[in-house]
Structures are given as structure tokens and as C-alpha cells.
Amino acid sequence: MALTPIVAHRGSVTRWSQSLIPTLREAPAEAECPSHVLLLRAGFIRKLGAGIYDYLPLAWRTLRKVQQIVREEMDATGAQEISLPILVPIELYAGTRRDRDYGDLLFKLSDRKGALTALGPTHEESVTEAVAGSVSSYKQLPLSLYQITNKFRDEARPRSGLLRGREFIMKDAYSFHATVDGVGGLNETYDKMFTAYSNTFRRCGLSFTAVEAESGPIGGSASHEFMVNADSGEDTILKCPATGYAANVEKCEIGTRPHGTFQEPPSGELTEIHTPNLPGIHEVGKFIKVKPDRMLKTIVFQVNSSSESPVSEPPPSEPPAPAGDSTSLASPPIRWILAVVRGDHEVNEGKVRIVSGLKVTLADEKAARAAGFAIGYVSPRSVNTVPNTLLLIDADASLGGFWASGADKPDYHVKHFNWRREVGSKLDEPRYVKLGDLRNAREGDPSPRDPGAKLVTARGIEVGHIFKLGTKYSDAMGFKVHSAQQQQQPVIMGCYGIGVSRTMAASVEQNHDANGIIWPMPIAPYHVLITLMKPEAPEHQAAAKQLADELSSAGIDVLIDDRDERPGVKFKDADLVGIPIRITIGDKALAEKSVEYKLRKGDDKGSLVPITEAAQRCRDAIVAAMA
Amino acid sequence: MALTPIVAHRGSVTRWSQSLIPTLREAPAEAECPSHVLLLRAGFIRKLGAGIYDYLPLAWRTLRKVQQIVREEMDATGAQEISLPILVPIELYAGTRRDRDYGDLLFKLSDRKGALTALGPTHEESVTEAVAGSVSSYKQLPLSLYQITNKFRDEARPRSGLLRGREFIMKDAYSFHATVDGVGGLNETYDKMFTAYSNTFRRCGLSFTAVEAESGPIGGSASHEFMVNADSGEDTILKCPATGYAANVEKCEIGTRPHGTFQEPPSGELTEIHTPNLPGIHEVGKFIKVKPDRMLKTIVFQVNSSSESPVSEPPPSEPPAPAGDSTSLASPPIRWILAVVRGDHEVNEGKVRIVSGLKVTLADEKAARAAGFAIGYVSPRSVNTVPNTLLLIDADASLGGFWASGADKPDYHVKHFNWRREVGSKLDEPRYVKLGDLRNAREGDPSPRDPGAKLVTARGIEVGHIFKLGTKYSDAMGFKVHSAQQQQQPVIMGCYGIGVSRTMAASVEQNHDANGIIWPMPIAPYHVLITLMKPEAPEHQAAAKQLADELSSAGIDVLIDDRDERPGVKFKDADLVGIPIRITIGDKALAEKSVEYKLRKGDDKGSLVPITEAAQRCRDAIVAAMA
């Protein structure tokens, strides 16, 4: 037989007159995006400084509901909640050097003893320190830890209210593993986190897309972003309507495209044109009367020869190439990469890495000039003139026909560029020339998952990001555990973030109309708003109290608008703050032993419901909306 | 008919092997007090820096339970929860000057634009800014707001683990009123807060004392501290066993004591003694062979003539004294105060204020010397030699008999000091001499509430403090509201703090034994610990799972020790972490379809309970302990 629970959860009942809900007619002029405007106007937040906001009672209620959903889903993965200090002693960054990498984004202070301390932007170092100090054997792994705390980034341009603030609420989780695969491995936890993130945003009542993302400078491993779908979003997502594949612009693959054979005949004689003082490809195109889609854009990258090793490095079990004798190898080392795309396309750095198999960054302009590249006027021909150069050509740029290009000397371009004629025999040497997918995807490109489908674009707001970190932090901080074979092995990590305050703002971006916010039921500050037409009338008060009691004993949160204001003001404010269910108590309905019941969402015109049935009606609507 | 709740609360079930509970044999040498040692050893916290601690999973569970109790009690007062930024732009302190008053205690940083920002130690300024910007009429008051957030103080000597850290969790509440008395007034909310605080600490399972406290430099208004009773506490409390009256040392009144008449005959001729190079009253006493309780200690205070007005200032409705003509008044203004107590007693500055009716601080030594006081050797006779001096005499020091005193010149004391002979006729002028209660109370003093009872002392740890602030912050920040008479009136405030992380530590100070922590049921990280003697045995696992399911569905939190460790290690750890109820699943008991049931508290030796009754037994014990 089931035990009686030790506690029963009651919903909150709040009188508007006792709370602080300072609704405004107008938002300050600086507020632009819908969530910024509406959260200010509806009295959810108040600006205290640049990128710094007070969470007033309504905002805090919504934020706590988001936090609770996040917490439940994190707990379901087996992660344990902790709380790490906001203060992070600077010594912790000694191994990871993130204090330098973050640069001005990191808030730093000196304490009374002159010790330098950062305000944590995320807590990879702190959590690794804690686990490294407590765990020494593979038997104690896997371990997942998370926290929901204020984070700090000194943004150069804080903007869009809570979407890019300097102090914000984030859930950050970290997992620690002895293996990548199998039971207890990184991949198992990563998949659980993927599910938890999907559940979290679904339970928050949000329409979202999980997209494949670039994993950043650590290379190789997987990463997904969770985007709340919203036309006002900053990020572009590409989706395959046929398969559900979705990725961000940095990551999105493109399906098979036709490419050239380098045997196509020239379109005419190579002609040099003087093109001085033209700042960009569009200006050049206009001047020489060529559309960007018939021009070649050649971007120079440099190969990082430093401590960072190429992605294609052989696994550690194979003997590494002997050091210090690179000149004796059959292929000379590649130092430069030319990436060629069509003038109307954008080179994708991640794809340059993948196609080249090398760690690359955009070339330092001075060094590239010194090597012989006419930066701004480079053509693919440079592969023949600058030693140790690899030429990468995007499929669309490899086709035949007319092409314009830089002329490899300042202030000159050429017309009638022909691949075979201008580049010659190196085109046949895969050591020097590779053909592939080098550019950002865009709407209309073939889907990488279904040959017949075309990619479509959508806008989104990033609210979550999960990463397979690998050993980046454990290596940098010297965190190893004993393996089953009693050897020291590096610890493999994952990290998983959710922007909690950002999720609230993203929900408003997605769910609002001209009159105000429309909260999804699960994260609405209150489920039900009871508006008293005559707050001073005892029978109105009594009806409100009885209804609120019934609702709260079922765990339903109720806001009672008991203000001494005109009904017009109250209804406008009700639209603005966006509580999902609205009950109005007035003389007319009360005479029929009824109340008015109206949903904020859609075009509900409202209807009379017998007062004895009102609570049940609310409960049914809430349960349906939370399912 | 009652509605079915929209959500059911389930308890947590955690496997020890999945959590991070790094128990230690020994605490670091620097840990001294029981809570610091035990929270470190039991794997609740980990030091990240000076006064900065990670809250590991067990600590965070306890802290969240404390927070939830605080939240429910705050909500019950009608206060609304908010969350203010940790970052506080320094401009906010312009009116209150608390940035200066806090001095080095305030953490400050410069952002990338050079703007100075503090990390909030408490948030009077931020909350007043928010409310002042949103509330303009008395009709919108009263209003109570609270938050539970990390606070920051750059302590010179962070110590005792969580008891005096540099980053800590605090609940701070603020109330705003148009009146002090009546419905909606400060006193009403103050009383509700007093009740809420009492409920909070009672519900946390703590033995505590609410004591009257000094309200600090703002004067006049009431203040109470809530002290967790613990012998290891830093603070001394005085209590009247007969009436329940309790106060801290700064505040505690003393009941009626006998006092002198200033007519007592001299004990002998006044004799000067050379007393060079004696640093304190004890050394002087030894040298001149007089016990401290027969010596007079005369402390010089100065009257603050600045913007701060005396407590006894007439209410604003009376015309203020004309400025700049103080010389023309009948009584010359008092500039100096001599407070005389017995050599073995301590002068109480708050009582000096009360008896004098003036705002005073300890005299600046240089200024006092310049005025003619022989600092270190002052006697009550100085009232006759330094103009504008008021002499206050504690009852015990006013008695007749033998007295030694300073001689009003460096390196000299006198014996056989006699009040009438040495001070003379000023003793009869209440303008210059007052008799009263000027010293700290101590054990054995008469109770101020019951003439027959004597005060007793106890030790405690301050975990809560409530204040009637008055208009200190609203005046400084120019926050006024329209009154019912359409006039601008100052807003009256109260503030109310609870040290949340300190409450956890104080609970350990109060509840532990030689083997570890003994958590009170309501704030234990888990209610029940199930220890598996053979974690690998399927029948042990099955029994644990079934029991844990039953318990968690009743809202009970369960930790399962499934580690592959020797039973001795597990039992030692169980004592250390202090989960209140311990169920052990082993072969012998299981053969009798039973489990072992044992309480952490007291001398429970454990007993066998049929497995079918174990959950109910746990539930009954939990409910009883939470009542």
C-alpha cells in the first residue's frame, strides 16, 4: 500500500497589490527586441546597470519554474546538483590559460590582499579542481555534476535585455569518464544529456530545434546547440525538411553538388583589369561588370604548426613521426592553404579544417604578404608560386565557364580565369589540390541527408549547448585516474550548458503578440489570473478567495488582481503580463453564479463558467497544456 | 470536492557511487571548529580559496532544504521573492556612502570600461532603487521583498569554514511602509518577520534563542538577533530563566541594582601613586595592590555634533533650535562624556547613548588630550576641569567605600577616591552628572524583567537579524511617496537577514558527536540511508530498490550506499555524514525478511524490522521529527 506523502505541495496565491509588478506604458527607447521591451513593460525586470537586471517577482517565479524543470531533467540523467563559488581564484586558470583566452570578457578583481580573482563565466576549472581532488580511480567514474548559478561576462556590447547580459543565470553541467564508448562512457552521458535537453525545452513549452554545431577549437568531437525557434533570433539554422537534419551555419553540411573536371575550355583570353580603390568583392564586380557568382574568392589560411596537432594526427598507439626532420619527408609540410569559393559564398573555416585535415586559422596578413600572397587580390594560381601551399576548391567554384579572379598583384583582377590553363598540372596532384565542401550552407542547397531535398533556413536563439570536451581540461589541469590496469589515464569530460535567464527571454521572443506576453503554461509565473471588477465588494472577494483556495490546494498558482484600478487598466495589464488563464469576477456573471473564463492564447473571446466548475476547468486546461 | 493535484512531489533516490561524497579521515589542520572539521570530513564542502567553499552534493541538498523552509516562511508573511544582481554599480552608494563605511570589506572591480562595481554584501541600495523607481504612492505600500542569493564580504580573517566566509548564502528581506504603527505599518511586518524567523529555525530543527540586540548606529529602533544555541558559538547571550528575556551583551539590560548616595564617608586620605609603564588596569591593580572591582574605570566619549542628530532630538514638528547660537542657550552643549564603571566591568556604548540621550563615539585620543583629558589616567574629577563634560556613573561604581582611580595626570593613580570629596557639588546637578546602567551585563546580574531572578549566560551563533531601519536608506536615496494628504512623505523601512550557509554550519555546531554530524530531520540531505552489505547481490539490490521506491513516492529522500567498500568503512561514513535514519540490508536480516533499522541520533542500537513495514516505520519517524 502506498504511503501518504510527507508533504503536500500547494500553489501560491498572491494579491497583485502586495507584489511589485510595475507595468509600463512604454519601454525605454533602448529596448528593441520583443523580449526586452515586453519584460520591461510587463514589470518582470528592471535595469540596474549595463547588461545587469533586477528579476522582479514575476520574472523570478518564471525563472524558478525553468530552473525546476532543468533540475528535474538533470537529476533524471543521474547528475548531482552542486554549487561552486562565483569567485574563482586566478591561479585555477594556470593550466588552461582561459583567463587570457577570455580576455576582457572575464570580470576580475583584486581582494584586500591583492589576490586576483575572477567572477566565473563558466566553471570548467573549478569543477575539475573539485573532482580531481576527490576522485582517483576509474571506479569512481562516471560522475556528472551540475549547478544553476549566476554567471558573469563583461560583454563589450551588452544588448537585447536578458539575451546578452553581463550577469545571467546558467545551468552548467560537467561529466567525467574513463572511456568514450560503452557503459559509463562519455557518449552514453552525452546522449542522456541530449534527451534531457530535449525534454527540458519541450517541458518549458517551447518550440525548439536541436542542431549540429561546430565543437570549436578543440576539434573532432560532437556538439549540439538547442535553438528556440523565433523569427527575431540572432542565429540562422539550416534544416532538411525531409529528414529533420538541422545544423547551424558553422556546421551545416551540404549534399552532393556537381563539380568541374578542370578540363572545361576557357571562356576567353585571360585579361587583366586595373581595379584600384575598390574595398570589396561587390564593388569590384560592379566595376568590372561581373556578378559575384561568377567571381572566385580565394582566402588564405595558415597552418598552425605549434603545440596543437592536426586533427588527422595518427592515434597515439602508432609511432609518431620522428621530430625535427620534416625536410626529409616525402611531402613537404603544408604551411598555407588557399580556400576558393564563389564570390557570393562564404568560406567555412571548420570545413577548411575538415577538407585539409589540418588545424588552420585565417592567415596573418603581414606574414602572408611576406610569403608572397597579394592579399585582397590572391588567385588560385598562387599555389604554383608560394611553396608549401595547399589549394582547396569548393565544388561550385570548380565548375567551368567564365570566372573573374584576383590577379595576384595589388589593384588588379583578371577575367576569363580557366582552371586548367591558369593552374596547370598541380590540379592532378591530390597533395596540392583538393576539391570539396568549403562554404557555408544556405537556403536551397541540397540536403546532406536526402539527395532530393533542399535545405531551408530558420532563425533561432541558442538556449543550450552540449559538448564532448575530451581531455582538454583534464590534460591542462593534470587530472588522471587509475585505470583497471593500474595505470594513470586521462579523464574524459563533457560539458553541457543551458541559459536559464535566456530561456525565459527566448520564450517571450517566441510567444507574444501586439498586446503582450503569452506564457507557455509550464513556465508562466502564475497559471491563473483572477481579476476582481470590484475589489472592495465582499462577495467578489469571497468568490476569489474560494476559487483561489481550491486551485492552490491542487498545486495551481494564482494571482489575484485586487487593485483599485479601472477595468480597462487591469485588462491591458493582464494582456501584457500574459498569465495563461484569466478568470474575471464581476457582478453580471456572479448574478448567474458564474465567472468569466478566458485564455490568453489564441482568439478566445471568453465564456461564462459556473463558479462551481471554474476550478476544474482551470485544472483540466493546465494539465492539458503541461502534458 | 478537492481537485487532484497537478503534480506529485517525489523524493530523491541517489546511489552513493553516482554522487560526489569525498569523506576524509582527517580534516586539514587549519579547520578548528566542529562544523568546519565535520563538513570537510563528511564531504559536504571543499575549500577553493580563502573563505571560499564548493558546496558538494550533500551540502547543496541541505542548503536547498534550508532555503525552502526560509522561502515558505517568507511567503507566509506576504513577502515576494525577487533576485537582485550580485553586481552593484558604485553610483548606487552615492547617497548612503556605504561603499566608504564598508571599506575593505567591500569587493570592488573595474569593468572593461573602467566603471567601478561592487559585489553586493547586502542589497539595501539595490532594492530601494528598484522600489523607488516603481512605487510613488502610499497606496502601493506596504511591500516586502526578499531574495536568497550569494553575498560577498572581503573579510580580513576568513575563518571557521562557513561561519565566516567571504562568499556566503544569505536571505535578505526588505519592507517598505508609509507608517510605523497600525495596519500595514513597520511594526506589523516586523512582528510577522519575528514569527517567520522563529518558525524558520524551529522548522530547521534547531534550538535557538531570539535575543534583543543593539540596532547599531541608526539608533532608537528595535532589533532582534536569532542565535543557534551552541557551546562553540562566538557570541554570548544573557537570559533571564524566570521570564525568557534574552539579549546579547551589547543590548542586555540589568535589573535594579543598589547605588550610592554620594554621601558615603571617605575610606582614607587621597593618595597619589606613581604607576609608570603599566599597560592596563590589571597591571595597575597588581602594582598598587587593589583588585579591579575596587577601581574606577573612566572612559572618555565624544558627542557627534555632525549631521547625525541626537536620539533625543525633538520630533520634526517642533521648531528646531536656531542654528549658530549654541553659546546663548541656557545649558552649554555637551561635547564630552565620561563613563565610569568598576574596573572589572566593561562600558557599554549603547547604554552610554541611552543614559546620555546623545549620539556618542569613543573619543579621538588626540582631541581628548588636547581638551585636557589625561587619557589612560582620567578620573571622574575631570568633569570639573574640562568644560562641556557630562559625567555618567554606573550604579556599581557609585557605591561608597574604597576606590582607586586614575590621577588625571600621566603615570599616576590615586587611592581612597571619594565621590563627594573629589567631585563635589556637580554631583547634585543632573545637567552634569547622571547615574544609570552603563556596563555590559554578565552572569549573576539581576534580571531586568524579574527582580528575584539572576541572568545566566549561554553561547550562540547568530543566524538571523531583524532591524527596524526607519528612514535611513529612503532619506539617503531620496525615496518618498505621496501621502493620503497628497504630500511627499519619507518611506519607512525594515530589513531582515538570515545566514543560510551559516545556518547549515550552526546546525552542525549544535548537532554532532565524536563520530560525525547528526542532522535534524528537516534539513538532512537525505532522510534515509540504505546501506547494502553486498552491493553486488541481486536480492540486496532488489530489496533496496523496492524500499527506495516506496519511500520516494511518499516524498522521502533516500541515499543508497552501493559502494564496493568494507562494511566498516560504510558504517564509519554513515556516522560521519549523519543521515537520520539508517537501514542496513544484509544476508542475516534478509533471511528473516527483515532489515536493520537504526537512528543516527541518541544511543539507538538498531533493531530488525520486517521489510514490509520498514517504509512505514521510516515515514512515521520522519513525520514525528518534522512536527
State the alpha helices, DSSP H only, in A48-140.
57-76, 98-102, 124-132
What percent of chain B has pLDDT above 70? 94
- Which strand (E) or helix (H) includes residue B450? none
User: Exposed (0-12), middle (13-18) or buried (19+): which is A485, by Cβ within 10 Å?
Assistant: exposed
**Do the Cβ atoms of A583 and A595 come closer than 8 Å?**
yes
How close B40 gets to chain A, by Cα (Å)?
12
Cross-chain CB nearest to A22 (options B55, B134, B154): B134
Residue A232, pLDDT score: 87
Contacts of residue A158, Cβ cutoff 8 Å, sequence gap at least 6: A50, A51, A164, A165, A166
Angle ∠(A108,A113,A117) on CA atoms, nearest 5: 20
Residues of chain A contacting B112 with CB distance shorter than 8 Å: 104, 154, 156
Q: What is the pLDDT of residues B80-123, one digit of tens each?
A: 999 999 999 999 998 888 898 899 999 999 999 999 999 999 99
Cβ <8 Å between A48 and B167: no
- CA distance linking residue A149 with residue A158, whole number of Å: 19
| Site of grid cell 552501493 | B562
Q: Which residues of A touch B177 (CB under 8 A)?
A: none
Cβ contact A119–B109 (<8 Å): yes
Closest among B569, B526, B515 to B59, alpha carbons compared: B526
**Mean per-residue pLDDT over chain B, rounded:** 92
Which positions in chain A touch B107 (Cβ < 8 Å)?
Answer: 109, 111
Taking an 8 Å cut-off on Cβ atoms, the answer to whether A46 and B133 are in contact is: yes
Per-residue three-class SS string for A511-544: CEECCEECCCHHHCCCCEEEEECCCCCHHHHHHH
Q: Are A507 and A33 in contact (CB under 8 A)?
A: no
State the nearest Cα–Cα gap between A80 and chain B, in angstroms: 6
Q: What's the rounded Cα separation, in Å, for the pair A521 and A591? A: 30
Tell me the three state secondary structure of residue B501.
helix
Which of A15, A75, A111 to probe the B interface (max B CBs under 10 A)? A111
Query: Three-state DSSP class for A225?
Result: strand
d(CA A589, CA A533): 11
Question: A154 and B555: CB-CB below 8 Å?
Answer: no
Q: Give first-to-last CA distance, chain B, whole Å.
A: 27
Which of A112, A167, A616 is the closest to B156 by Cβ? Answer: A112
Q: Which amino acid is at A318?
A: E
Q: How far apart are the first and last CA of chain A?
A: 27
pLDDT tens digits, B533-559? 999 999 999 999 999 999 999 999 999
Q: Do the Cβ atoms of B554 and A156 come within 8 Å?
A: no
**With contact defined as beta carbons under 8 Å apart, do B384 and B333 qualify?**
no
Phi then psi dihedrals of residue B574, to 5 deg? -65, -45
Query: ipTM for the complex?
Result: 0.89
Q: Are B87 and A167 a contacting pair at CB < 8 A?
A: yes
Question: What does R_g of chain B's alpha carbons equal in angstroms?
Answer: 30
Q: Using alpha carbons, select from A602, A507, A626 the residue that is nearest to residue A232.
A: A507
Mutate which of A83, A104, A155 to test chain B, going by most B C-beta atoms within 10 A?
Answer: A83
Q: Is the CB of A85 less than 8 angstroms away from the CB of B54?
A: yes
What's the pLDDT score for residue B310?
37
Alpha helices for A217-296 (secondary structure H): 281-288
Helix (H) or strand (E) holding B35: helix B34-41
Inter-chain CB pairs, A–B, below 8 Å: 224
Q: Specify the pLDDT at position A310.
A: 37
Q: What is the pLDDT of residue B317?
A: 40
Chain B residues in contact with A184 by the CB 8 A cut-off are none
User: Which residues share a beta bridge with A433?
Assistant: A391
d(CA A310, CA A219): 9
Which among B1, B4, B6, B52 is the top mutation candidate for probing chain A, defined by the most A β-carbons within 10 Å of its own β-carbon? B6
Rg (CA), chain A: 30
pTM beyond cutoff 0.80 = yes
- Residue B519, pLDDT score: 98
Question: Do A119 and B135 make contact, defined as CB atoms within 8 angstroms?
Answer: no
**Angle of helix A500-510 versus helix A34-41 axis, rounded to 10:** 100
Q: Which residue of B has its CA nearest to A554?
A: B5
- CA-based nearest residue in chain B for residue A616: B3
C-alpha–C-alpha distance, residues B7 and A626, integer Å: 10
**How distant is the alpha carbon of residue A456 from its chain centre?**
19
Mutate to test the interface with A, among B87, B113, B136, B500 (most CBs of A within 10 A): B87
Measured CA to CA in angstroms, residue B132 lies from A43, B94, B140, B176, B480 at distances of 14, 15, 11, 10, 8
CB contact under 8 A, A5 and B6: no
Under DSSP, the state recorded for B522 is G
Backbone φ, ψ for residue B277 (5° rounding) = 55, 40
H or E stretch covering A195: helix A186-203
pLDDT at position B311 over 70? no
- Look at the alpha carbons of B227, B233, B238, B239 in this order and tell me if their dihedral is positive or negative: positive
How far is it, in rounded angstroms, from Cα A256 to Cα A452? 10
Express each pLDDT in B139-171 by its tens digit: 999 999 999 999 999 999 999 999 999 999 999
Per-residue confidence (pLDDT) for residue B305, from 0 to 100: 66
Residue of chain B nearest A136, judged by CA positions: B22
Are the C-beta atoms of residues A223 and A214 closer than 8 Å to each other? yes
B241/A517 Cα distance (integer angstroms): 58
Q: List chain A residues with pLDDT less than 70.
A: 1, 215-221, 305-331
Q: Do A82 and B20 touch (CB under 8 A)?
A: yes
Residue B317 CB contacts under 8 Å (≥ 6 apart), including other chains: none
What's the CA gap between B598 and B581, in Å, rounded? 6
What does the alpha-carbon distance between residue B502 and residue B235 come to, in Å, rounded to a whole number? 14
Predicted pLDDT at B331? 64
* Bridge-based pairing state of the strands A389-394 and A296-303: unpaired
For residue range A25-75, list pLDDT tens digits in order: 988 888 889 999 999 999 999 999 999 999 999 999 999 999 999 999 999
Q: Which residues of B touch A53 (CB under 8 A)?
A: 85
- The yes-or-no verdict on residue B219 having pLDDT over 70 is no
In this structure, are residues A63 and A53 in contact, taking their beta carbons and an 8 Å threshold? no
Strands (E) across B52-113 are located at 52-55, 80-81, 87-89, 108-110
Residues of B in contact with A107 (CB under 8 A): 109, 111
DSSP letters, A297-330, are EEEEEEE--SSSPPTTPPPTTSPPPPTT-GGGSS
* Secondary structure element (H or E) that encloses residue B278, with its range: none
* A600: helix, strand or coil: coil
